[in-house]
Every structure is written in structure tokens, then in C-alpha cells.
């Protein structure tokens, strides 16, 4: 009976490797590329948003594993995109990230993200959604 218990997990692992499309990182690749395309951004500015190199971004888009810290950033960017899409035209969001913004003292939102100040962007989204002046 111990032999059966040991071989079942082993055979499951082997079987999952053989299934087409069973690669666990495929959904990450689709999520990264999907968000980049929704933002209509080439890789260089999107890599800045993600806080990674262009090479890493290209690797992730082709299915290589993405580290947890970048998964967290991706999830936050997806949520931010969704919230911004409720208060502005979705087609303009990508350009908004890379344009100087008076609300942020002339800084670009991508620069705030690089500095770890995404909370300032969320604050602005809150005021936009609530209709309350900042």
C-alpha cells in the first residue's frame, strides 16, 4: 500500500507535464501581454510600469515563470486599469501613464510607480470616482 501512495503523486506530476496547455505560467503570460496590449504600450514603457527589464517582460510574455513580486505588481496594475476605465476612456489610459500630470506636480504616473508612490494614483482614482475635489 505504501508503494501505491508513493507512485500516485509521481504519476500525476508526469501526466500533467504531458498535457498540452498545462503549463502553469501560460495564464501569467496571457495576463501580462493582454494588459500591455489593452494599454497600447510597447514593451519599454510597460517594463517601467512593471519595474522590470524589457528582457524579463519578453520572457514572461513567452511563458517563462514570473516571480511573485511581479505578479503582485501585475495584479495591482490590472486593478488600477479597471478602476481608471470606469472614469475615463480605456483607450487613453496607456498614454496617461506616460504623460506629465498636473495632479502629480508635473510628474508622470509611471514615475510615481517607479518611486513606490502608487498610493497617490489610487488617491486620485478615489476622488475621480467619488466626484469629490482633491
Please report how many Cα atoms fall inside a 13 Å half-sphere around the Cα of residue 120, on the Cβ side: 17
Cβ atoms within 10 Å of 21's Cβ, excluding its own: 5
Domain boundaries, the chain: 24-130
Percent pLDDT > 90 in the chain is: 75
Checking if the pLDDT of 8 tops 80, the result is no
| Cα torsion angle, 131, 77, 40, 85, sign | negative
* 1: its cell numbers: 500500500
Band of pLDDT at residue 11, cut at 50, 70 and 90? very low
9-33 mean pLDDT: 53
pLDDT of 17 higher than 70: no
Beta carbons of 47 and 53 less than 8 angstroms apart:
yes
Give pLDDT tens digits for 30-75.
999 999 999 999 999 999 999 999 999 999 999 999 999 999 999 9
Residue 29 reports pLDDT greater than 80: yes
Nearest to 40 by CA among 97, 106, 107, 123: 97
pLDDT of residue 2: 41
Q: Which of 96, 79, 75, 92 is nearest to 32 (CA)?
A: 75
Is the pLDDT at 26 greater than 50? The verdict is no
pTM score: 0.77
Q: Which grid cell sits at 124?
A: 486620485
Q: Compute the distance between CA of residue 10 and CA of residue 37 in angstroms, rounded to an integer.
A: 39
pLDDT tier for residue 3 given thresholds of 50, 70 and 90:
very low
- Give the cell for residue 10: 509521481
Rounded percentage of the chain residues whose pLDDT exceeds 70 = 80
Three-state DSSP class for residue 26: helix
Amino acid at each position: 500500500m505504501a508503494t501505491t501512495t508513493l507512485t500516485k503523486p509521481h504519476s500525476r506530476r508526469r501526466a500533467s507535464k504531458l498535457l498540452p496547455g498545462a503549463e502553469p505560467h501560460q495564464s501569467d503570460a496571457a495576463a501580462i501581454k493582454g494588459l500591455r496590449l489593452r494599454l497600447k504600450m510597447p514593451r519599454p514603457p510597460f517594463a517601467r510600469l512593471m519595474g522590470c527589464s524589457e528582457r524579463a517582460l519578453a520572457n514572461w510574455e513567452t511563458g517563462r515563470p514570473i516571480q511573485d513580486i511581479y505578479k503582485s505588481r501585475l495584479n495591482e496594475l490590472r486593478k488600477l486599469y479597471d478602476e481608471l476605465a470606469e472614469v475615463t476612456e480605456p483607450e487613453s489610459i496607456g498614454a496617461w501613464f506616460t504623460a506629465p500630470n498636473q495632479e502629480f506636480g508635473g510628474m508622470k504616473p509611471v514615475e510615481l510607480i517607479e518611486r513606490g508612490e502608487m498610493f497617490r494614483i489610487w488617491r486620485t482614482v478615489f476622488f475621480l470616482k467619488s466626484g469629490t475635489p482633491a
